[in-house]
Chain A
């Protein structure tokens, strides 16, 4: 066996705190090593060329590179050795940067540790076996989860690219948060006017199959071949018959149902169509309020429906879709008022959230776009906005900035002045965060052209005084306490992860952070990929985002799907589990522990029961290998023998 070892300086990243020449010199003494050298940037083109030449000249059959994390360049070097004629698995990487040079300051200790790391890699590479990947067919259908603006954009881009798209939306209509907004910053164009055409495109696109009011029940499979079970929730209205005429909604005697679309600003009927531009424009019964369900009698909607679409006996239905990739665009949630006892915790009707105010401003909202405060339906003359209601507040578990509140507050303050010219708005703020194109100019316009008074400070308490709400806060620029008697108070409540986000992540096998936002594969370089191949992210499910950023990510995710599907076959990773059927006792513990359902029971011709790994499903996590009581199941490229060789290498010195 002829092993070649290449020690990288990585500029000063490694050479600064590791004596790379000494590492190379010590490495040359190792059995099996016939060549060792150090080089400034091994990953550079000349660096790779040196490896190739050494393979030829020295007749190397195994290669070790001691450099950065294999997450950075393992693939680069595997390709390099492959080009020089070696099997790509006859290569090992020793991480002497992230694990050694970046974390220790003592050069001598670092050098010793680097030598040990190289020893391990050499021992491993000498035990490596050649592995070959197989290829499998890709099902070129994509599923988009979430029909907000990000999901719609991804769905439309994929469909325009020729892919079949399955779009699953949990609420009765697509449109998401953007459909609820009145105007959008910084151009003050009507939100539904720009979103509506996209929604219609989604509805009419022959390549898009829409499941509204449906949720993901179960996801099985792997990139290229997923089977997804979708729960079509009972609407109690046969949507094939419903024409969206709205007669049922008009006649429904229950007038106090919670309006999810309007965030409870005003009640709605027990049977309702969420908003005029809804897609699909179909009615749905809310059984928690419907008298037919709560009292067992009513039936008004069934009588009035001209097409006989009402069906009180309807049940949830499960359908299965086979797809090859998934775009997750499940959006975000918002803090509720109950998080703020110092602001009344929802006890005062004239203290509302930003999204509720958006519905009040909106022409399709409960006040038909006239600004009327909830308590007495009068026009407010003094409106106070409180930014960072929960955001950047560690005590409430939200240390991060909610991203778009500064902008929508400025917008709402401008709109308030437009609607009620003799009104005065105040904004309590911590900082004005407006780092987008045309954004800062916009917040300045609110202050300079619309006379919105910005007060830098936090609000400590909101309390009623007669018909007014007194907002007490600090003006930290003047160094004084201020009290404003307001008619209406709007809280920019914190953006949080969507309800059920963690549960969804577990179904998808993707990671999420402590706040429930999904984690991208790399924060800078792989912003829409996840660590699960075939699953992509778009929009605010990854973190708070405004409309342009969400749309951008929707398109980015779609382009990732399109490039994934540009190949007819995908290569499988051969570093997966394999069962030695002679050693397997058929206990099938591995079947139970496998998180990907990649192992099944197989009966051999002899009648012996053994475990069998489904190659394409196995993710190579290795859980089964540590479960197996007799060592019969081995993860290729990480077998017991290979790992023990590494352990031996450092324990002998």
Chain B
């Protein structure tokens, strides 16, 4: 599958706090036949601080990386980090849409960016380029007990005219990808609700409240796991769970997994390979619940046969049970 070649801009988080996102993404992409090539000498994307100060400077930081990718002869860049994606896309759209802006930015760069790189989130690549059928074909393990709500966060699909992918208010890409794995996905009203991560340091009380909302809505939706696609979301929901519990008198213990980790588990990779040990809230019980797909199918067939044989007996049994309780 030579056509699935991507320049892989991991961004800084994936070398640090989100190492497990990097590990799981690389494994999953390889399993799905996509080749990721890291651009040589990539640098900071300029996210968060730069664009609050100077748009030209911010675009230049991003465009330096785009210029490197342009020389690689790969047309599509993929990044797992939504913050990186936004600044890369914003620089690209700004420079291709406005000649004078392009000249201003290129004046700051050693190598000019000509505007020939398409940037996509890794979720978009998996959802659109690889596709749900290919995702489903590779599954070797089932999760009978796993109930996931996908949490997209605030910037993966926003602003819509820059993201140009999925719905900004009710995105569905991650829902569909996880469903394709055979995992149960619950409808979740807070897919794009603010978790407050960016204010983690200056306004802790506010973040506690916002994170509490996101987590409790997941519990209300009947989930036992939250899937994410953003390093900042993961860090905030996972690392602060204990802090929220203490501040808000809650008792959350819900694992926050990168969607690529769930894919990796379904594809039979070991928890170590997927960096599952780096989670703060342990997902061990979920990992233990997975079973080979063949075994699962046999179990389901047996259950169905059983149910067919004695539907009344089962009902009576259950009725007796409820009476007892």
Residues of A within 8 A of B (CB): 340-342, 344-345, 347, 461, 463-466
Contacts and interface: CB of A to CB of B under 8 A. Distances in A.
B220 A341 contact: no
A461 B170 CA distance: 11
Interface string B155-198: 00000000000011110000000000000000101100100000
A-B pairs, 5 with minimum CB distance: A463-B189, A341-B169, A341-B170, A342-B169, A341-B167
Contacts of A344: 170
Given A463-B217, A465-B220, A341 B168 contact: yes
A347 B169 CA distance: 13
A40 to B, nearest CB: 51
Interface in B12-34: none
Interface in B206-234: 217, 220
A463 B193 CA distance: 11
Contacts of A340: 169
Contacts of A347: 170, 187
Contacts of B190: 463
Nearest to A348: B189
Contacts of A463: 189-190, 217
20 contacts: A340-B169, A341-B167, A341-B168, A341-B169, A341-B170, A342-B169, A342-B170, A344-B170, A345-B169, A345-B170, A347-B170, A347-B187, A461-B189, A461-B193, A463-B189, A463-B190, A463-B217, A464-B189, A465-B220, A466-B220
A358 B170 CA distance: 28
Given A341-B169, A342-B170, A463-B217, 14 more contacts: A340-B169, A341-B168, A341-B170, A342-B169, A344-B170, A345-B169, A345-B170, A347-B170, A347-B187, A461-B189, A461-B193, A463-B189, A463-B190, A464-B189
Contacts of A345: 169-170
A345 B191 CA distance: 14
Contacts of B220: 465-466
Contacts of A461: 189, 193
A230 B190 CA distance: 51
Nearest to A462: B189
Interface of B: 167-170, 187, 189-190, 193, 217, 220
A461 B167 CA distance: 15
A566 B187 CA distance: 66
B218 to A, nearest CB: 12
B188 to A, nearest CB: 9
A341 B220 CA distance: 20
A466 B221 CA distance: 9
A534 B220 CA distance: 63
Contacts of A341: 167-170
A325 to B, nearest CB: 46
A469 to B, nearest CB: 10
Nearest to B193: A461
Nearest to A340: B169
A464 B220 CA distance: 10
A342 B169 CA distance: 5
A461 B192 CA distance: 10
A120 to B, nearest CB: 40
Contacts of A342: 169-170
Which of A344, A345, A463, A466 has most B Cβ within 10 Å? Answer: A463
A344 B190 CA distance: 11
Contacts of A466: 220
A471 to B, nearest CB: 12
Contacts of B170: 341-342, 344-345, 347
A179 B166 CA distance: 39
A345 B170 CA distance: 8
Nearest to A347: B187
A464 B188 CA distance: 9
A341 B172 CA distance: 11
A15 to B, nearest CB: 43
A354 B124 CA distance: 37
B159 to A, nearest CB: 10
A112 B167 CA distance: 57
A489 to B, nearest CB: 13
A97 B193 CA distance: 56
A345 B168 CA distance: 12
A464 B170 CA distance: 14
A461 B168 CA distance: 12
A342 B160 CA distance: 13
Contacts of B168: 341
Nearest to B167: A341
A559 B252 CA distance: 72
A268 to B, nearest CB: 28
A577 B229 CA distance: 67
A347 B175 CA distance: 15
A461 B190 CA distance: 9
B19 to A, nearest CB: 33
Nearest to A466: B220
A144 B193 CA distance: 51
B270 to A, nearest CB: 38
B174 to A, nearest CB: 15
Contacts of B187: 347
A155 B12 CA distance: 72
A347 B189 CA distance: 10
Nearest to A470: B189
Contacts of A465: 220
Contacts of B217: 463
A305 B220 CA distance: 52
Nearest to B160: A395
Contacts of B189: 461, 463-464
B145 to A, nearest CB: 24
A463 B149 CA distance: 15
B169 to A, nearest CB: 3
A341 B152 CA distance: 15
A109 to B, nearest CB: 31
B156 to A, nearest CB: 14
A149 to B, nearest CB: 36
A420 B323 CA distance: 38
